[in-house]
Amino acid sequence: MKKLLVLLFSLVLGIALTGCGGSQEKEQPKQAGESGGDVIKIGAIYNVTGAQASLDGPSLNGFKLAAKEINAAGGVNGKKIEVVSIDGKTDQTSSTNAASKLVDVEKVSAIAGFSDSNYALAAGPIAQTAGVPFITSGATLPSMPEQVGDFFFMAAFGDDAQAYAAADYAVDALQAKKAYVLKDTAMDFTMNLAAFFEERFKSKNGDSAILLEDTFKTGDQDFSAQITRLKALKEKPDVLFISSGPSDCGPIVKQLRDAGVNIPVVSGDGFDTPLLIELGGKGAEVDTYFATHTCLNSDGEKVKKFVDDYKAEYNKEPENAFAALGYDTMHLIADAIKRADSADPKAIREALLQTNNFAAVTGSITYADGKRVPKKSVSILKVQDGKFSLIKEVTP
């Protein structure tokens, strides 16, 4: 028994070492980007298991769909795209290991991934050090590119853009003077979104315009205490800004409306999930607005094509806007490779930086003035007749 175990252990260790060594030898002579002639390797790290899976899963689907379409149309510059995707497991250690593997072992030309800055900020620096462009498809913290470095790009707009758009809509269209804010303290995204909203709302309506800022935590299942406190407010707010992620927005709106609170609700792209309608039911029909990337129900040609293709490929509607963002990210990279006429990571970075008015499903992307946060339009959506409908599109 003991011998068997020793044997087993050394066997596993042996496999581990030869496995590592073997792949090392194979990959050693290759230069980054020149991955074997007629394919261009693009890395994708998404948290397809764990708490982030409901956002990152659709993103990866969209990303792969785009790659498939590009290859079906003959690839880029005569080369096929090969997507090397690794699961980040909603864990920073796994995510950084994945980034390192993509850069060092797979020698990819560019990496895409993540819908949350906690993971993008961990994996980004590895790509930065290796000089490989990293494009986060769904993370929206606007300061990320500055923090990580010149190889880091965002495909989505920053939280500032969407929060400002939401605040402007609340003030201009909804005539709101006083606001109530409920934010999730366990998420980077919701904290920033709430801060940007408050900043804008106060600048328009004065410092006392926020009546109450209440908090909850991702995964809280009961908001009755917060709602009771909201109802107990002496002065009634004109608008409720709910800074939550996709998993909590439905229950919050449902419980708010169940408790008889019918004040307009405004939020950001965290609300862009079918669950909002399914759960909010009639409640969500009552004045629920949010700022997001695009309206998947709109008649735009690009949007329609994307939705149809996604349905054909995966037998389901795109789950949320992150699917479209993943799809756009792949096309964005392919566009840069085409313009660079090279799979060299540095050339791709240069080309990405020159991106101007790239027509994507989620609006046109321009990296203006060397900034790596795109200038993109923000769509304001409303829940109507069991669907999202576009109220207006604003360009900051």
**Of 228-247, which residues contact another protein (CB under 8 A)?**
228-229, 232, 247
CA–CA distance, 280 with 177 (Å, rounded to integer): 25
Min dist CB 368 to another protein, Å, is 23
Residue 15 contacts another protein per CB under 8 A: yes
| Interface pick for another protein out of 260, 299, 357, 385 (rule CB under 8 A) | 260
Q: Provide the minimum distance between the beta carbon of 38 and another protein in the complex, in angstroms, as a whole number.
A: 17
The least CB distance from residue 36 to another protein, in Å, is 16
For residue 54, the tally of other CB atoms under 10 A from its CB is 18
> Shortest approach of another protein to residue 204 CB, angstroms?
23
- Per CB under 8 A, the list member of 7, 10, 14, 16 interacting with another protein is 16
For another protein, what does the binding mask look like between residues 179 and 198, x meaning CB under 8 A? ------xxxx--xx------
Q: Which of 34, 150, 213, 285 binds another protein (CB under 8 A)?
A: 213
- The residue among 231, 76, 133, 173 whose CA lies nearest residue 381 is 173
Using an 8 Å Cβ cutoff, are 197 and 243 in contact? yes
Q: Which of residues 105-144 bind another protein (CB under 8 A)?
A: 105, 117-118, 121-122, 125, 130, 141
**188-205 vs 117-130: helix axis angle to the nearest 10?**
110
Min. distance of Cβ 147 from another protein in angstroms? 5
- Strands 358-360 and 363-365 come out as antiparallel
Structure tokens at 170: 């609340």
- For the chain, the farthest-separated pair of C-alpha atoms sits apart, in whole angstroms, at 78
By CB under 8 A, residue 34 contacts another protein: no
Strands 378-384, 363-365: parallel, antiparallel or unpaired by DSSP?
unpaired
| Nearest to another protein of 216, 358 (CB atom) | 216
Alpha carbons 186 and 50: distance in angstroms, whole number? 16
What does the per-residue mask of binding to another protein show for 39-58, with x meaning CB under 8 A? ---------xxxx-xx--xx
> Per CB under 8 A, does 286 bind another protein?
no
| 5 near another protein (CB under 8 A) | yes
CA distance 272 to 115: 13
**8-state DSSP, 169:** I
Asked if residue 44 lies in contact with residue 86, where contact means CB atoms within 8 angstroms, the answer is yes
Give the side-chain half-sphere CA count within 13 A for 222: 3
Q: Smallest gap, in angstroms, from Cβ of residue 221 to another protein?
A: 5
The yes or no reply on residue 281 touching another protein (CB under 8 A) is yes
Is 211 a binding residue for another protein by CB under 8 A? The answer is no
Instruction: Fill in the per-residue mask, 69 to 98: x = in contact with another protein (CB under 8 A), - = not in contact.
Output: ----------------xxx-x-xxxx-xx-
294-333: contacts with another protein (CB under 8 A): 319
For the CB of residue 47, give the shortest distance to another protein in the complex, in Å: 9
Residue (184 or 328) nearer to another protein, CB: 184
Record the tokens describing residue 361, joined without a space: 């499903």
Encoded one letter per residue, x for contact with another protein by CB under 8 A and - for no contact, window 340-359 reads --------------------
What's 32-82 look like in SS3? Answer: CCCCCCCEEEEEEEECCCCCCHHHHHHHHHHHHHHHHHHHHCCCECCEEEE
